[in-house]
Amino acid sequence: MKIKVLTLAVTAAFATASHGAPSGESTITLGEVTVRTAQGGPLLTTNILTSVDVMAGDKIEDKQVMNSWELLGQMPGIQLTETRMGAESGKATLRAFNGEGYINGIKVLIDGIPSNVNSGNQRFIDMIFPLEIDYIEVVRGTNDPRYGLHNIGGNINFGTRQGGNYTEGRLTYGSFNTRELQAAFGRESGGFAQNYFIAKQDSDGYRDHSKSEKYSLGGKWFYTTDDQRLKLGLTARLYEHDAEEPGYLTATEMAASRTQSPAKNANDGSERDMKQIAAHADWQIRDDLLFSNKLYFNEYKEDRKITFTSYAVGNAPRQRRQWDETQTGLISTLTWQANKMLTLDGGINYEHQENEYHRYRYNYGVPTDFSATPARVQNNDNYTFNNFGAYVQAIIKPIDALKIIPAFRVDKFTGHTHLNTNGASASLQDYGWISQPKLSAVYNLTENTNVYANWGRTFQVLTGSREPAYLTTGQTTFNPSINTGKEIGVKFKPIAGTEARIALWQQDATDEVANMPSTGTTVSLGQTRRRGVDFQVSSRVTDKLTLWFSHAQQEAKVVSAYTAGGISLAGKEVFSTPRTITNLGAEYQANANWRFGVQGRAQGDYYIDDLNAKGKYGGFAVLDASVRYALSATTSIDLQLKNLTDHKYEYVWYDNFFWGGADQPMFSPAPGRSGYLSLNVKM
């Protein structure tokens, strides 16, 4: 069944495997969610973790975005890094982890399937489109034991539609000659459910030389036995994206024209292909015992041509990078409902990666001729990366008002690389077994007030095809970076129709490394501290009007580290991390046919270099608006206006000595005011 909840309202129901006793929850839910118990499926995330946000499909399906990571901008405390360079369009992060690609601290999953590339970047998110999404679930902090690799500051799971009977389509046309078609189809009968999805999106882009063409194709097939004890399924997804890259602008170039693409970038672009196939099996062995399995295969291929700067020194700024990565993995969990007061949950996972990385450098040219023989082959690498992990946790309910969740996880990594440019071979850094204890608790103070707390450890390991991830000749050993996080919070109803949550959190890391494998750039940040305050509130003012607001105040600072030149970084902020992230909005349902909405979001400025010496950039405040009109019971139209005030903002990074000595900020301007008109059909 479905339950209507307030926008950003707090979920108050707790369902264990076979009991429905009430207990405190700290989950925030946006939209209309499907409520299910754990019978026939693994434990619900909202039952076992204490800092969770869920955005349901009805708040997603009609949002016009060029990339699905942008949808997370509606959720509290999510930082969006909008690079908008072809297929490498951007990233969503949280808990003061930035989105530059150096510190990839967020685990991404699609239908519970791990969906990060080797470096930790979030490229698989591009495979899914809004109309296909059933919900997005964000777990913050360090207390989730289910995942290890990349799960440093939290994880994001995109759940796509499964089952149901529907035929839906959405056709969009808008600014920058954007054309998009999405179609979703589902049928369920006699225990067999099938779901299909197809999407095609083309756009000329906001800037010159920024055309983009992408399509995605997905299917799901699930069979459940008559007694509901066995559920078997197969999911498959294909994606292709060809995109031009307009290139970064200097301050002078941007002042002259925000939409230009310098001549040096005329041959820059990306060709990205991805696949994901997974087999699912859930077996309810007994009423109190569930065995769940996922076997998956991910493939990521990309050919990217990029010119960083226009000066003629050397060949470093003109590069062609090629990735060919495959991941084969298994996730198995066993859940035992011992009694009303105790549930035990544990599992193992294994992932094997077979990867190739090629990087070519080209001589100076405006534009660069990437079809010519490269001046130098810098990378021609084949490497493996293996992860074995296991966890166990207990959900203890000594009384109805209290829930305690102790947990423990371990991970181990192995791998080997072969560098074809020089014939060298090396093994992966030996981190040993990485231990991660965790503890969470939620307590009902009153009917309208719940308090919660969590503590836990996560880790960062090095990735990429060469040193320092692999022990090539002369490479020193690295310890894993251990992150210790803690959080306390309260959710409450201060007045009728209004609900809120406030949380204080801190995360301390040892031996943190800013590592970008594709460029061979590694900067030791040493000991770091991230901390912040998250506040969220929503109010149902009338039956027709809902208002919401969220604000995250955060900081990420280096506690103890030095640059390669011996300069102390102590007290410096981790680059590209804004201090504030704010969301506010309103939705007004005038009548059965008309709906109006506005949403504002803002991020603060951030330092762009590790010494905090080059100034702050990148802050913005934008306002979006929408209106929907129902033409009939099955058909509607909607108009979305983005960046309504035409605010000029941009993503900024610091072009330092790694690219030949430009030593200046480089800018990627965000789109100005834009509009999109869509036709929606539901049958």
Q: Which domains does the chain have, with CATH numbers?
A: 2-682 (2.40.170.20)
Residues 6+ apart with CB under 8 A from 517: 118, 119, 357, 463, 464, 465, 466, 469
**What is the rounded average pLDDT of the residues 288-310?**
94
How large a percentage of the chain has pLDDT more than 70? 91
Query: Does 480 sit behind a cis peptide bond, omega within 30 degrees of 0 on the bond before it?
Result: no
**What's the CA gap between 393 and 409, in Å, rounded?**
9
How large a percentage of the chain has pLDDT more than 90? 78
**Is the model's pLDDT at 9 over the cut of 90?**
no
**What's the pLDDT band for 38 if we cut at 50, 70, 90?**
very low
pTM of the model: 0.93
**What's the CA gap between 522 and 478, in Å, rounded?**
12
pLDDT for res 251: 94
**What is the rounded average pLDDT of the residues 333-361?**
96
**What's the pLDDT band for 101 if we cut at 50, 70, 90?**
confident
> 297 in helix, strand or coil?
strand
Mean pLDDT lowest among 39-48, 95-104, 163-172, 517-526:
39-48
Length of the chain in terms of residues written? 683
**What is the rounded average pLDDT of the residues 636-645?**
97
**Is the model's pLDDT at 294 over the cut of 80?**
yes
β-pair type (28-30, 9-10): antiparallel
**What is the rounded average pLDDT of the residues 361-369?**
91
Place of tokens 């902090």: 141
**Is the model's pLDDT at 34 over the cut of 70?**
no
**What's the pLDDT band for 564 if we cut at 50, 70, 90?**
confident
Please give the residue that has the higher pLDDT: either 525 or 473: 473
β-pair type (664-669, 434-446): unpaired
pLDDT for res 43: 61
pLDDT for res 48: 63
pLDDT for res 317: 83
**What's the CA gap between 68 and 135, in Å, rounded?**
12
State pLDDT tens for residues 459-507: 999 999 999 999 999 999 999 999 999 999 998 988 888 889 999 999 9
**What is the rounded average pLDDT of the residues 318-329?**
96
pLDDT for res 47: 61
**What's the pLDDT band for 313 if we cut at 50, 70, 90?**
low
394 with 371: CB under 8 angstroms? Answer: no
pLDDT for res 16: 30
**Is the model's pLDDT at 93 over the cut of 50?**
yes
Residue 673 CB neighbours (<10 A): 13
pLDDT for res 45: 66
